[in-house]
A = this chain, B = another copy of it.
């Protein structure tokens, strides 16, 4: 996206956008300070954001929808594959697993895990955050099968767990303190592509 544009610059964001951002920020602050997704209340979020509850309900039908948007904000947009090679795209996607730009994520994400196992609603909430990222990886693998780069009989869902699991346990749980996280995405992708068996 280079070059100039003649479109007029926005004269500042509208008030409703600022309120929505304040509500998202308040939600993430409260979660990072230790509120569970079970205990966090619309009242507390409204008070922290400095808005009325009606302002929240004008944009979100309920707590689950607000939490979903807040947690998606925390993760950022899924990375966009370039489509040049399956290997490069998978390294990009695996490198993004468990990676967040917001420092509040390190406090919030691990705490979601036990909650998600206790309640179907929270599990569905976590799945709604994960699924858009899974969809991107699934499409890269399908493309690889179509192009003949990957085996025709590939089990796509198991392969996604094979690509995701190693980085997720390392980044979120620090599973093995001796592993180098910076070189891991490339090693995992090459390991899964080529296999560890002697040839």
Give the interface of A toward B (CB within 8 A): 106, 110-111, 113-114, 116-117, 123, 127, 130, 134, 148-152, 154-155, 157-162, 164-170, 172-179, 184, 187-188, 191-199
Q: How many copies does the complex hold?
A: 2
Known interface pairs A134-B176, A165-B167; A159-B191 also in contact (CB < 8 Å):
yes
Complex Cα gap A95–B199 (Å): 26
**9 A/B residue pairs, CB under 8 Å, sorted by A:** A106-B117, A114-B114, A151-B196, A157-B178, A158-B188, A160-B176, A161-B184, A164-B175, A166-B166
* A196: chain B residues within 8 A (beta carbon): 150-151, 154, 159, 192-193
Instruction: Give the 9 A-B CB pairs with smallest separation, nearest first.
Output: A165-B165, A195-B195, A165-B166, A161-B166, A110-B114, A194-B195, A111-B114, A193-B197, A165-B169
Q: Is the CB of A162 within 8 A of B158?
A: no
Inter-chain pairs besides A148-B198, A158-B188, A192-B196, 13 sampled, C-beta below 8 Å: A110-B117, A111-B114, A123-B174, A154-B196, A158-B191, A159-B191, A161-B175, A162-B192, A164-B175, A165-B170, A168-B175, A191-B192, A192-B195
A141's nearest neighbour on chain B, judged by CB, is B196
Complex Cα gap A174–B149 (Å): 30
Known interface pairs A162-B166, A169-B165; A197-B151 also in contact (CB < 8 Å):
yes
A123's nearest neighbour on chain B, judged by CB, is B174
Complex Cα gap A128–B7 (Å): 60
The residue that A194 contacts in the complex, of B110, B114, B157, B197, with Cβ under 8 A, is B197
Complex Cα gap A186–B56 (Å): 48
How far apart are A152's CB and chain B's nearest CB, in angstroms? 7
How far apart are A58's CB and chain B's nearest CB, in angstroms? 33
How far apart are A47's CB and chain B's nearest CB, in angstroms? 26
* A167: chain B residues within 8 A (beta carbon): 165
Known interface pairs A114-B113, A194-B195; A169-B164 also in contact (CB < 8 Å):
yes
